[in-house]
């Protein structure tokens, strides 16, 4: 079985939310880590917004003027040392989606470690 470090990070963050913020409503998108058959892929695609890259973690709690906190999890930074986004179609589409969601009133970000994600969540929810 293939190692899935992003899923492990996602699972750890969800476990943290369950313990630290048990009343917080959240949704963790797992479709990227699931191997779907061709018919399942077709079915799933038919109910998704075309071009929309759903963030990995949606914390459905309004705070600090935001409608919710939406986090795209990575296992390493999606940015170059100079702060520019890496040239990668998938990451660029995710960044575009995060910007669109920010305009709609959500706090959004990329996070690439447990400690970083925990800090973002704590600053948002407390």
| Domains of the chain, start order | 5-125 (3.40.1350.10)
β-sheet with 57-59: strand ranges across: 26-28, 57-59, 69-73, 107-111
CB neighbour list of residue 55: distance below 8 Å, 6 or more residues apart: 29, 70, 71, 72, 94, 97, 98, 101, 108
Q: How many C-alpha atoms does 28 have within 13 Å on its Cβ side?
A: 18
Q: What is the pLDDT of residue 79?
A: 96
pTM: 0.89
The tens digit of pLDDT for each residue in 23-76 reads: 999 999 877 667 888 998 888 888 888 888 899 999 999 999 999 999 999 999
The tens digit of pLDDT for each residue in 68-98 reads: 999 999 999 999 999 999 999 999 999 999 9
């Amino acid at each position: 079985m293939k190692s899935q470090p992003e899923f492990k990070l996602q699972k750890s963050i969800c476990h943290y939310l369950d313990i630290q913020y048990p009343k917080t409503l959240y949704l963790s998108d797992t479709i990227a880590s699931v191997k779907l058959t061709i018919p399942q892929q077709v079915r799933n695609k038919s109910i998704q917004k075309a071009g929309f890259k759903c963030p990995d973690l949606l914390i459905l709690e309004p705070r600090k003027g935001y409608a919710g906190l939406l986090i795209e999890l990575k296992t390493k930074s999606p940015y170059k040392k100079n702060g520019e986004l890496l040239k990668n179609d998938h990451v660029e589409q995710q960044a575009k989606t995060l910007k669109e969601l920010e305009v709609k009133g959500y706090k959004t970000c990329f996070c690439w470690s447990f400690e970083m994600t925990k800090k973002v969540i704590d600053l948002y929810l407390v």
